[in-house]
Chain A
């Protein structure tokens, strides 16, 4: 497979890109972006609609939920 010069440019750009991505990830972990990360998953719950409460039902059919 012959490599056109453009493929070489693209590969270099790709390498640059990946390096910066890895650097960014490293910076993230260092500055604590990923600390308490799972907490983000719970940010959608509030006092009125806490974790554990179902918030959507068919009209008039709320009592039918078992479990």
Chain B
């Protein structure tokens, strides 16, 4: 243990062993997964995200949503993900091949979002929720994201995206004004709506 070369070889080999075993073998084993169809000629899954949803993904990353929300469904019997309606099947590596930045997450301060597009398909629910989570979910500890919205004067008609507050909610706008989501917010919500576990893969079929 006094000789430097000996120490060095041991130190190098131990990290090389784990790097090869964990990282490189994973890369070799499934680093080149492609989308696949259940039956020949069917639509291949997963779908590649496009357009506004892709931009929304950038907003999701820039706000750090991952630190409270995961995007993975554990198999039935290992936790209550299935029973909570978070996904009808376990998520597998192929589900993530189109995520440029894989957002698995390790915290569920808030619910899992892998299938949020199916659970909450109405964009207006999302706008209200982002503006002040306690409007849609009493008791929520999610911080409000009011900076994703802007106040503007109502033109001839209210904008289609203008927030419709529930009666009784202390409306933060005076007469003649409305709160609308910014472009960033619209993109983010489109991204959330695109998160749907509504397809099967050969290696992961819907659970009963």
Q: Which A residues fall within an 8 A CB radius of B? A: 4, 6, 9-10, 13-14, 17, 20-21, 24, 28, 33-34, 37, 40
Contact = CB atoms under 8 A, between A and B. Distances in A.
Contacts of A10: 21, 25
B17 interface: yes
B11 to A, nearest CB: 12
Interface residues of B, number: 13
B25 A33 contact: no
Contact of A13 (B1, B17, B29): B17
B17 A24 contact: no
A22 to B, nearest CB: 12
Given A6-B25, A13-B21, A33-B1, A28 B6 contact: yes
Contacts of B6: 24, 28, 33
B32 interface: no
A64 to B, nearest CB: 39
Interface of B: 1-3, 6, 9-10, 13, 17, 20-21, 25, 28-29
Given A6-B28, A6-B29, A10-B21, A33 B3 contact: yes
Given A24-B6, A24-B9, A17 B17 contact: yes
A17 B14 CA distance: 9
Contacts of B25: 6, 9-10
24 contacts: A4-B29, A6-B25, A6-B28, A6-B29, A9-B25, A10-B21, A10-B25, A13-B17, A13-B20, A13-B21, A14-B17, A14-B21, A20-B13, A21-B10, A21-B13, A24-B6, A24-B10, A28-B1, A33-B1, A33-B2, A33-B3, A33-B6, A34-B1, A40-B1
